[in-house]
């Protein structure tokens, strides 16, 4: 029982203070989450359509947005010791809203899981052409990641300790081997390769891609920071991990795109470091895909708990989600990469805006969190549904999706925060019905939820 509870990683409860970790180890995981092959892909995309300094500015602005969101949402997760979708029950969304948040996170991150698996499968196919079809590489890679995530946060920490240094070797090797054949001054000053075909990006578009590319990671940052010991640790690991990841890996991708005249990251890496580099690329991709699967499983746990009143074991849920994500990779989800980013940039920022506004400004349910925190349990009850929140979430997401001026992800986030604050001050943020928490029923460390409508 003890080992099973440990593997379940408190998916539907608070992480005890005794199980909190040193910030540097978590910073390694954060860096690994940011500095993945997808970041090379993003850097190459920006490098193909932008000059170096414009791309650097886009990375700077996008990184600031991400770090602010990660720090603020992460501090909430650190204080309460809860994963994101569970925490949403008492940060504005209520039981039904948090189940929708969990479902949205689960679907989105399974999509990312498929994208990353497909990228790695292409790398494997380039490394060993004709050995296996790409779809089979997708399945094999996805199942390997699934086997790692079954062991929870501890297994993922061990993976980060191995793969992050290897990926840094890849970055150094690729830059030295490829850029040594070019003048750095020329690469920095030359026009983007996409200018010849009219495929250029503005700074605002680039910033939107940077922020949108990791916005789900920012929203779900409580999944990681619930293991931190203090708010200061959250800030340190975020600034270190995101800054090094975005600028180190992203700008390397920009330079490589300029040098190779292509936005195809697999081709760039292949030409830069050859077969050994591809092996290291795969290990680098492992480090973001484990978090995609891990948080996707946590989101599904919360959805099933609130919708069907069942507390699923995290390990079994991880296996099922891993198989589903691997199949999605095999059927070619990678082709939807750019539209997927655009969709995420609008749908997810309002979640963070509402959670932050509720926790730090409106504080409708914060006393419940604080009262139960000292006992290490969940609040005794959560609102069944908060209608104002669902309306604000929908309106903000639609505005972020259809209003194209500025940076849509920032627009959606700020709008949701303002609307929720105004609704809170006007007394419109109210819960309808009540969902009772059964803290006495342990299922792998996970309390169950009992719903009781009250009037």
Instruction: Give pLDDT tens digits for 419-446.
Output: 999 999 999 999 999 888 866 544 334 4
The pLDDT of residue 393 is above 50: yes
Phi then psi for 254, rounded to 5 degrees? -60, -50
Q: In what order do the strands lie in the sheet with 446-452?
A: 381-385, 432-443, 446-452
Structure tokens at 50: 């932008």
**Helix 408-425 to helix 349-357 angle, to the nearest 10 degrees?**
30
Burial class (CB in 10 A: 0-12, 13-18, 19+), 20: middle
Q: What is the pLDDT of residue 451?
A: 45
CA distance 68 to 219: 11
CA distance 423 to 7: 40
Q: What would the pLDDT profile of 279-295 be if each residue is shown by its tens digit?
A: 766 777 787 889 889 99
What does the angle CA 301 – CA 306 – CA 308 come to, to the nearest 5 degrees?
90
The pLDDT of residue 382 is above 80: yes
Q: What is the pLDDT of residue 44?
A: 87
- CATH: 3.30.70.1230, 3.30.70.20, 1.10.4160.10, 1.10.1200.10. Which one for 25-436? 1.10.4160.10
The pLDDT of residue 123 is above 50: yes
pLDDT band at 336 (very low <50, low <70, confident <90, very high): low
Task: Report the SS3 class of residue 384.
Answer: strand
Tell me the C-alpha to C-alpha distance, in Å, between residue 257 and each of 45, 251, 338, 358, 379: 8, 10, 17, 43, 51
- 284 contacts 37 by C-beta, under 8 angstroms: yes
Q: Average pLDDT of 100-125?
A: 84
Q: What is the pTM of this model?
A: 0.85
Q: Average pLDDT of 106-114?
A: 84
pLDDT band at 9 (very low <50, low <70, confident <90, very high): confident
Q: What is the pLDDT of residue 162?
A: 84
CA distance 420 to 331: 40
């Amino acid at each position: 029982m003890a080992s099973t509870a440990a593997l379940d990683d408190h998916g539907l409860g608070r992480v005890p203070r005794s199980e909190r970790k040193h910030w540097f180890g978590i910073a390694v995981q954060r860096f690994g989450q940011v500095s993945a092959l997808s970041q090379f892909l993003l850097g190459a995309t920006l490098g193909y359509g932008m000059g170096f300094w414009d791309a650097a500015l886009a990375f700077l602005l996008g990184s600031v947005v991400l770090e602010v969101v990660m720090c603020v949402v992460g501090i909430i997760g650190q204080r309460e010791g809860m994963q994101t979708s569970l925490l949403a029950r008492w940060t504005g969304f209520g039981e039904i809203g948090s189940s929708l948040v969990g479902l949205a996170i689960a679907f989105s991150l399974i999509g990312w899981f498929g994208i990353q698996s497909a990228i790695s499968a292409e790398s494997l196919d380039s490394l060993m052409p004709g050995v296996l079809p790409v779809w089979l590489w997708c399945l094999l890679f996805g199942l390997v990641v699934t086997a790692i995530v079954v062991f929870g946060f501890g297994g993922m920490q061990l993976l980060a300790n191995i793969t992050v240094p290897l990926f840094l070797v890849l970055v150094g090797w690729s830059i030295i081997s490829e850029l040594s054949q070019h003048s750095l001054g020329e690469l920095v000053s030359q026009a983007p390769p996409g200018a010849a075909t009219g495929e250029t990006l503005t700074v605002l578009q680039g910033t939107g891609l940077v922020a949108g590319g990791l916005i789900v990671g920012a929203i779900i940052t409580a999944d990681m920071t619930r293991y931190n010991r203090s708010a200061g640790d959250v800030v340190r690991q975020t600034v270190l991990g995101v800054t090094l990841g975005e600028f180190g890996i992203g700008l390397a991708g920009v330079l490589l795109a300029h040098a190779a005249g292509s936005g195809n990251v697999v081709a760039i890496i292949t030409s830069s470091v050859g077969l050994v580099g591809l092996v290291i690329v795969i290990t680098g991709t492992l480090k973001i895909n484990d978090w995609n699967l891990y948080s996707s499983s946590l989101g599904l746990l919360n959805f099933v708990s609130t919708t069907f009143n069942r507390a699923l074991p995290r390990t079994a849920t991880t296996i099922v989600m891993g198989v589903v994500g691997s199949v999605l990779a095999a059927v070619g989800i990678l082709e939807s990469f750019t539209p997927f980013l655009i969709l995420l940039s609008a749908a997810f920022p309002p979640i963070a805006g509402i959670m932050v506004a509720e926790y730090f400004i409106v504080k409708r349910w914060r006393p419940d969190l604080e009262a139960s925190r000292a006992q290490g349990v969940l609040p005794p009850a959560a609102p069944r549904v908060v209608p104002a929140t669902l309306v604000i979430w929908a309106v903000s997401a639609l505005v972020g999706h259809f209003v194209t001026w500025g940076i849509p992800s920032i627009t959606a986030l700020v709008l949701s925060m303002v609307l929720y604050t105004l609704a809170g001050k006007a007394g419109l943020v109210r819960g309808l019905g009540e969902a009772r928490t059964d803290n006495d029923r342990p299922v792998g460390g996970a309390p169950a939820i009992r719903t009781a409508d009250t009037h």
